[in-house]
Chains A and B, each alone.
Chain A
Amino acid sequence: MSNPSSNSSSITEIVNKGLKKRYRSEFMFRLYGITSILFAAAFLIVFFSSIIDKGYSAFTQGELNISIYLDPEIIDPDNTLDEEEIRYANYDKLVFDSLKNFFPSVSSRKERKELKALVSNGTSLRIQSLVLDDMSLIGKTLDLSVKLDSDIDMFLKGNVDITLDESQRRISDNQVKWTNELKTKGLISQKFNSTLFSAGDSREPEQAGVLGALVGSFFMLLITFIVAFPLGVAAAIYLEEFAPKNKFTDFVEVNINNLAAVPSIIYGLLGLAVFINFFGMPRSAPLVGGLVLALMTFPVIIIASRAALQSVPPSITDAALGVGASKIQTVFDHVFPLALPGMLTGSIIGMARALGESAPLLMIGMVAFVVDIPSTPLDASAALPVQVYLWADAPERGFVERTSAAILVLLFFLLVMNSTAIWLRNKFEIKW
């Protein structure tokens, strides 16, 4: 900027003339910038509010307080205490009988079916496992809080339009009447849906949870990290510190950068061809998923690690070499420790991307219905993003809110990983 007092008045005039225009264009530029940020923020807010709005109700689940008489006549009439005998007893009838206590007038076949459908069909299995665990319960009365069926739960959450004709909705007039009666008696309450975090997948929305997918994703990321991080870091150190600068190195470098941009589905196909078809690894296993994601994350880690190595100032290397350290001592004792925070940050961000990836998993059979929680990386398992995909495709109404809830869980873990990366960077970043 020129100082007007030391210049001729004609120049000042010219500058003053243009000043307004310059201020205006600066103002406009700032305005464009702010508008684009607001625009992006608005999308983000719409995205989050729609997911939270749809998903928050999945964290509660309607439950009914009920007392169930464990009738020895039904469970074990001959008093055998034989496990097989007790396993195949008609627990549905026990549940039905105790529901009938509330509504003794129910008699027709249709009404009986409707009444049975008030509570989750997992109830009888739950009683079965309670009895099998402790056979002394037979003959006693259990006070339980049992899950309502998902359709009834949807009604309680206001997702069913009861002004429609009975034939056009999922719950019948009787069920609406009964539910309202039980509600006024104070027997129905909304409780925290712990099943969502403690169960594997299920076809009944009220019994479905994300734990199986969470464990699957955890195994996968573990394998991804174990495989990709050491390999990626080793490759980066070699390329950055030891590789001769020649055409071949350049060629490798260009290819690594290209690999980082390869669409992830291609890695899935590669995994299918190599790991499953050639090596005969099991389909749907987190082991294969982790290896595929490792291939995908590998170039990202190399690039991040090389950037971290480059940011270590040459004075460190020079000083180490100057006091007589060998090349390898210099790299491993001085450069590598200083670059490690940067490498970890880059890797965590790469892993976060891997966590949200579903396309390559489709190819290796991880889009499967898996109820049991995997206990090793070789068991069949789903992964979080795939669980979202599977639930979004399920016909039952109750899965709509659970899909959004699963998205929230996924976003939570992404947030945790990214904030860890930021925390690491802030904690260990060294300003030279």
Chain B
Amino acid sequence: MIFSNVTDMPQMNISIIEYFFGVNIMKKSISIIAALIVMATMSFTASAARDTIKIVGSSTVYPFATVVAERFGKSTKFNTPVIESTGSGGGLKLFCKGVGVEHPDITNASRRIKQKEIDLCAKAGITDIIEIKIGYDGIVVANSKRADTLSLTKRQIFLALAPEIPHPNGAKQLIKNPHKTWRDVDSSLPNVAIEVLGPPPTSGTRDAFGELAMEGGCKTFKWLKDIKKENKKRYKAICRSVREDGPYIEAGENDNLIVQKLNANPKAVGVFGYSFLVENSDSIQGSFVDGVLPTFENIANGDYGVSRSLYFYVKKDHIGTIPGMKEYLREFTADKTIGQDGYLTEKGLIPMPSSEYKQFRSAARKLTSFKGLN
């Protein structure tokens, strides 16, 4: 022990340097520290080779990908892939920066790659991409079990949450959304204030909610639907925006927080991914959307209207350079993983129908390149 001689030290006039190192070590220690700095700054250049798969991308796919990565790392001799949750857009941006060990090998996405992003990738020399669809995810509208189950239509969701809605008298004119309670939206709904906790605009869940639920409701007004042909931008602004005057509360990317808030406040309604409903099925219930409950079966067979596909994209040039890529693809597309009874279904992933599944499994085995959007 360094400190064992504390009591027999002469008091006060000994300096800390003498105490720890002896008298004249100070100059030596400075040079040691300097050497360490040089080593620390130099050593990153030695990182030319990488033996761990790097994955970035969607926060929705993250809970699934991490489970696969962990199993992969523990059951094979390869390192466990490192997964960073950056959001679908952020992930593709990093992914498309270039080929080489400093760039990620795989990116997860809760939506399909866009043409813009394909072009971005091509510019950086990434032309060979493998696209793997892993399954579906439902977006649920849910509330606490202590309140009654809600039964909403997409039209009602749009009327409750859009910043501007069509005039109630049927005129082709938009007014500021006046609805304060669900009863204001439709007389069949409970007389409680509209209070919806949902993800912020950076989230893929929010994109999908805007596209599927809000736009789905918006389209039921024929004249709004017609705007799409004339002015696509304006149509999107009307149909996919969410009001900012209070009833819609952005609760951050943390879906757990939304669940906790729903438990505390039975009047509030939350919007989040189906996997969080699965984990919290004892306290939270999904609402009917257009008469369909968000259950496993309903999402799998496509009856539930607010669901989206989950993907990941693989840089083909990295296969062979980074060890374990092929095996990771194999693990992720195995029947035990994303098949009908795969372990990801326990985490809330909705599996693909078997014909579609077979197509992506063979793509993963044969490393078939992505042919572009069709």
Q: Which 10 A-B pairs have the closest CB atoms?
A: A371-B80, A337-B15, A368-B84, A380-B82, A395-B279, A369-B83, A169-B282, A369-B66, A281-B44, A203-B67
Stretch at the interface among A223-231, A298-306, A408-416: A223-231
A372 to B62: give the CA distance in the assembly, Å: 17
Closest chain-B Cβ to A86's Cβ sits at a distance in Å of 12
Contact check, A372 vs B73: say whether CB atoms are below 8 A apart: yes
- Chain B CB within 10 Å — which of A168, A223, A338 has the most? A168
* 27 A-B pairs in the complex with CB atoms less than 8 angstroms apart: A87-B76, A128-B75, A167-B281, A170-B281, A170-B282, A203-B70, A204-B70, A226-B36, A226-B37, A229-B33, A230-B34, A284-B54, A284-B84, A287-B40, A337-B26, A338-B15, A341-B16, A368-B85, A369-B82, A369-B84, A371-B73, A378-B43, A378-B44, A378-B47, A394-B256, A395-B276, A395-B348
If A284-B82, A395-B63 touch, whether A164 touches B282 (CB-CB below 8 Å) is yes
Interface residue? A38 (CB, 8 A): no
Beyond A282-B44, A368-B83, A371-B73, 10 extra complex contacts between A and B, CB < 8 Å = A121-B343, A168-B282, A227-B37, A367-B85, A376-B43, A377-B40, A377-B43, A378-B46, A380-B82, A393-B253
Q: What 0/1 readout, one digit per residue, does chain B (35-65) give for beta carbons within 8 Å of chain A?
A: 0110010011011001010100000001101
Which secondary structure dominates where chain B touches chain A? helix
Interface residue? B194 (CB, 8 A): no
Contact check, A395 vs B84: say whether CB atoms are below 8 A apart: no
Interface residue? A156 (CB, 8 A): no
Interface residue? B255 (CB, 8 A): yes
If A227-B40, A287-B44, A370-B82 touch, whether A344 touches B281 (CB-CB below 8 Å) is no
Closest chain-A Cβ to B172's Cβ sits at a distance in Å of 44
Contact residue among A128, A170, A290, A430 (Cβ-Cβ distance under 8 Å from B279): A170
Contact check, B44 vs A369: say whether CB atoms are below 8 A apart: no
Contact residue among A202, A280, A424 (Cβ-Cβ distance under 8 Å from B70): A202
Interface residue? A340 (CB, 8 A): yes
Interface residue? A392 (CB, 8 A): yes
Closest chain-A Cβ to B148's Cβ sits at a distance in Å of 15
Neighbouring B residues of A367 by C-beta, 8 Å: 84-85
Residue of A nearest to B281 (CB): A168
Interface residue? A396 (CB, 8 A): yes
Interface residue? A68 (CB, 8 A): no
Contact residue among A204, A380, A424 (Cβ-Cβ distance under 8 Å from B54): A380
A283 to B55: give the CA distance in the assembly, Å: 11
Interface residue? B232 (CB, 8 A): no
A290 to B33: give the CA distance in the assembly, Å: 15
If A226-B33, A226-B40, A282-B102 touch, whether A392 touches B62 (CB-CB below 8 Å) is no
Q: Which residues of chain A in 326-368 are interfacial with respect to chain B, using CB atoms and an 8 Å cutoff?
A: 332, 337-338, 340-341, 344, 365, 367-368
Interface residue? A52 (CB, 8 A): no
Closest chain-B Cβ to A56's Cβ sits at a distance in Å of 20
Interface residue? A279 (CB, 8 A): yes
Q: Which residues of chain B in 311-359 are interfacial with respect to chain A, using CB atoms and an 8 Å cutoff?
A: 343, 347-348
Contact check, B282 vs A392: say whether CB atoms are below 8 A apart: no
Neighbouring B residues of A376 by C-beta, 8 Å: 43
Chain B contact residues, CB within 8 Å of chain A: 6, 12, 15-19, 26, 30, 33-34, 36-37, 40, 43-44, 46-47, 50, 52, 54, 62-63, 65-67, 69-70, 73-76, 79-80, 82-86, 102, 145, 253-256, 275-276, 278-282, 343, 347-348
Closest chain-B Cβ to A308's Cβ sits at a distance in Å of 11
A283 to B275: give the CA distance in the assembly, Å: 28
Residue of A nearest to B277 (CB): A395
Interface residue? A131 (CB, 8 A): no
Closest chain-A Cβ to B251's Cβ sits at a distance in Å of 12
A167 to B145: give the CA distance in the assembly, Å: 13
Neighbouring A residues of B66 by C-beta, 8 Å: 203, 369
Contact check, A223 vs B34: say whether CB atoms are below 8 A apart: no
A147 to B42: give the CA distance in the assembly, Å: 44
If A338-B15, A371-B73 touch, whether A203 touches B80 (CB-CB below 8 Å) is no
If A168-B145, A394-B256 touch, whether A340 touches B279 (CB-CB below 8 Å) is no
Residue of B nearest to A126 (CB): B74
Contact check, B82 vs A393: say whether CB atoms are below 8 A apart: no
Which secondary structure dominates where chain A touches chain B? loop
Contact residue among A287, A340, A365, A370 (Cβ-Cβ distance under 8 Å from B16): A340
Contact check, B279 vs A424: say whether CB atoms are below 8 A apart: no
Neighbouring B residues of A29 by C-beta, 8 Å: none
A372 to B253: give the CA distance in the assembly, Å: 26
A168 to B295: give the CA distance in the assembly, Å: 12
Interface residue? A428 (CB, 8 A): yes
Residue of B nearest to A391 (CB): B256
A88 to B73: give the CA distance in the assembly, Å: 14
Neighbouring A residues of B67 by C-beta, 8 Å: 203
Closest chain-B Cβ to A417's Cβ sits at a distance in Å of 17
Interface residue? A397 (CB, 8 A): yes
Q: What 0/1 readout, one digit per residue, does chain A (369-411) give for beta carbons within 8 Å of chain B?
A: 1111000111110000000000011111100000000000000
Interface residue? A160 (CB, 8 A): yes
Contact check, A344 vs B16: say whether CB atoms are below 8 A apart: yes
Contact check, A395 vs B15: say whether CB atoms are below 8 A apart: no
Interface residue? A161 (CB, 8 A): yes
Q: Which residues of chain A in 119-161 are interfacial with respect to chain B, using CB atoms and an 8 Å cutoff?
A: 121-122, 125, 128, 160-161
Residue of B nearest to A167 (CB): B281
Neighbouring B residues of A338 by C-beta, 8 Å: 15
Residue of A nearest to B63 (CB): A395
A169 to B275: give the CA distance in the assembly, Å: 14
A214 to B189: give the CA distance in the assembly, Å: 51
Neighbouring A residues of B30 by C-beta, 8 Å: 230
Contact check, A393 vs B37: say whether CB atoms are below 8 A apart: no
If A369-B66, A393-B255, A397-B279 touch, whether A340 touches B102 (CB-CB below 8 Å) is no
A88 to B53: give the CA distance in the assembly, Å: 22
Residue of B nearest to A275 (CB): B44
Contact check, B79 vs A161: say whether CB atoms are below 8 A apart: no
Closest chain-A Cβ to B83's Cβ sits at a distance in Å of 4
Contact check, B282 vs A161: say whether CB atoms are below 8 A apart: yes
Residue of B nearest to A338 (CB): B15
Contact check, B69 vs A125: say whether CB atoms are below 8 A apart: no
Contact check, B279 vs A396: say whether CB atoms are below 8 A apart: yes
A365 to B46: give the CA distance in the assembly, Å: 20
Contact check, A230 vs B145: say whether CB atoms are below 8 A apart: no
A223 to B26: give the CA distance in the assembly, Å: 20
If A369-B83, A372-B79, A428-B16 touch, whether A392 touches B44 (CB-CB below 8 Å) is no
Residue of B nearest to A399 (CB): B256
Closest chain-A Cβ to B319's Cβ sits at a distance in Å of 20
Residue of A nearest to B19 (CB): A428
Neighbouring B residues of A370 by C-beta, 8 Å: 80, 82
Neighbouring A residues of B65 by C-beta, 8 Å: 369
Neighbouring B residues of A394 by C-beta, 8 Å: 63, 256
Contact check, A395 vs B255: say whether CB atoms are below 8 A apart: yes
